[in-house]
């Protein structure tokens, strides 16, 4: 088992990464303060892993809420199902919520924990590659709004993250690729050495090679933990984790949540960011092609949806949370392995990218 730490002073927490961690009470119990636990999961993950998780929770009052599966259910109605179950089972302020599932479950469970009785503890048990490399770490929680992704939420850090890599064996191939998008992101924004490793190991990742996956999860979480420790509330460098997301979130919302997976939209978004970086003279044509080729090798879409116009993009992007003074702020690439956030670019370059990609 590998261990990392998210260093946030008194609110620091560990990330455990390894095979067969689910149901290991030694990793769970020290992070549960009271006697009550509410497991939040969904109808796909529950039959696979709920019983295994429960074996690590003997002696606690363990309740569960099983949500419908899908990005289209990352909304206030699902949140309400969690609150209702917590109230029905008389959960008090000492309760601990446990998110068992992918990023959708994790984001909603985290937000329920941030808001239930003004804030209770929670634990992340991520079961998708995307959630193990990204969403379970860092405390961004929330739900979608029809007009924009993750528009309602809170920063609320978990007590511990337990990433059991054996759960990835049941993950559909399309979801594995979606997770690889966020792995590529870390290489592109701040870790050229990791980027080269990803390029050499993309086939191993796609065939679910356990050593390659563990390395990808460890390096991704290490990068994310460093950024979160430096800028927990996104007043500076944390925004770089949004590479590809300003374009990608527009795609997800415009297409209807769930049609494009988050990681797929981020894959295309990173190509769009790389295209614009080339147009600004920051990336060479070869480097732009390198980004496109990696995204394609990861079996991710590299072109935006045919039914989406530049104006559609602008409409959704103008609501992005990073924007300041009505200017769309974008994460772009100064070079491969170094990103910047900027709203200082010529409008025609931006519009050209929206119409060319
Ligand atoms: N909070 C953050 O920092 C952060 C970071 C990145 C993404 N996100 C959010 O995460 C969400 C995407 O997460 P995701 O990609 O995990 O999607 P997801 O949660 O929808 O999970 C993908 C699919 O895999 C299924 N599944 C989960 N674990 C499985 C397993 N082990 N075996 C088989 N099937 C399994 C799920 O039921 C679902 O159908 C988006 O809403 C995105 O906005 C949040
Ligand atoms: O943790 C972060 O910070 C990220 O931006 C990680 C992203 O991969 C993730 O998709 C996040 O949910 C996006 O956040 P948002 O604030 O742009 O909604
Ligand atoms: Zn993301």
In angstroms, the CA 309 to CA 343 distance is 21
pLDDT of residue 29: 97
pLDDT of residue 328: 96
In 10 A of CB 75, how many CB atoms? 16
Whole-structure pTM value: 0.98
Is residue 154 within 8 Å of residue 115, measured between CB atoms? yes
Is 170 annotated as ligand-binding?
yes
pLDDT of residue 262: 98
Domains plus CATH for the chain? 2-170 (3.40.50.1970), 173-356 (1.20.1090.10)
Query: Which residue stretches of the chain have pLDDT < 50?
Result: none
138 CA closest ligand 2 atom index = 1
pLDDT of residue 325: 84
69 CA closest ligand 1 atom index = 37
Please report, for residues 126, 242, 254, 340, the alpha-carbon distance to residue 274 in angstroms, rounded to integers and kept in the order given. 30, 13, 22, 12
pLDDT by residue (tens digit) across 316-341?
A: 999 999 998 889 999 999 999 999 99
pLDDT of residue 291: 98
pLDDT by residue (tens digit) across 110-137?
A: 999 999 999 999 999 999 999 999 999 9
DSSP output for 78-118: HHHHHHHHHHHTT--TT-EEEEEESHHHHHHHHHHHHHGGG
Mutate to test the pocket of ligand 2, among 157, 186, 241 (most ligand atoms within 8 A of CB): 241
pLDDT of residue 326: 87
| Residue recorded with tokens 């984790």 | 241
pLDDT by residue (tens digit) across 288-304?
A: 999 999 999 999 999 99
For ligand 1, is residue 165 a contact (CB within 6 Å)? Answer: no
pLDDT by residue (tens digit) across 11-34?
A: 999 999 999 999 899 999 999 999
pLDDT of residue 185: 98
In 10 A of CB 24, how many CB atoms? 18
């Amino acid at each position: 088992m590998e261990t990392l730490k998210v260093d946030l002073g008194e609110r620091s927490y560990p990330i455990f990464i390894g095979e067969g961690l689910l149901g290991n009470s030694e990793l769970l119990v020290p992070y549960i303060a009271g006697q009550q636990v509410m497991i939040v999961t969904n109808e796909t993950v529950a039959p696979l892993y709920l019983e295994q998780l429960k074996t690590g929770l003997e002696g606690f009052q363990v309740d569960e809420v099983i949500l419908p599966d899908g990005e289209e259910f990352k909304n206030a109605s699902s949140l309400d199902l969690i609150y209702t179950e917590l109230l029905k089972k008389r959960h008090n302020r000492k309760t601990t919520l446990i998110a068992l599932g992918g990023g959708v479950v994790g984001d909603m469970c985290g937000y329920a924990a941030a808001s239930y009785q003004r804030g209770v503890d929670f634990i992340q048990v991520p079961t998708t590659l995307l959630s193990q490399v990204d969403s379970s770490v860092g405390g961004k929680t929330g739900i979608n709004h029809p007009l924009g992704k993750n528009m309602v939420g809170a920063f609320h850090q978990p007590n511990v993250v337990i990433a059991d890599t054996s759960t990835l064996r049941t993950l559909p191939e399309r979801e594995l690729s979606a997770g690889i998008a966020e792995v590529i992101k870390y290489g592109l924004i701040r870790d050229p050495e990791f980027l080269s490793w990803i390029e050499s190991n993309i086939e191993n990742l796609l065939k679910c090679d356990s050593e390659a996956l563990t390395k990808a999860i460890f390096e991704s979480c290490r990068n994310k933990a460093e950024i979160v420790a430096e800028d927990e509330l996104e007043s500076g460098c944390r925004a770089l984790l949004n590479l590809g997301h300003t374009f990608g979130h527009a795609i997800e919302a415009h297409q209807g949540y769930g049609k494009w997976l988050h990681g797929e939209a981020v894959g295309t978004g990173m190509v769009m960011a790389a295209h614009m970086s080339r147009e600004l003279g920051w990336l060479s044509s070869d480097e732009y092609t390198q980004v496109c080729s990696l995204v394609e090798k990861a079996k991710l879409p590299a072109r935006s949806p045919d039914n989406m116009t530049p104006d559609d993009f602008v409409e959704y992007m103008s609501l992005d949370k990073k924007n300041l003074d009505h200017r769309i702020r974008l994460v772009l690439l100064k070079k491969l392995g170094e990103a910047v956030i900027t709203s200082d670019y010529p409008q025609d370059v931006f519009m050209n990218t929206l119409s060319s990609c």
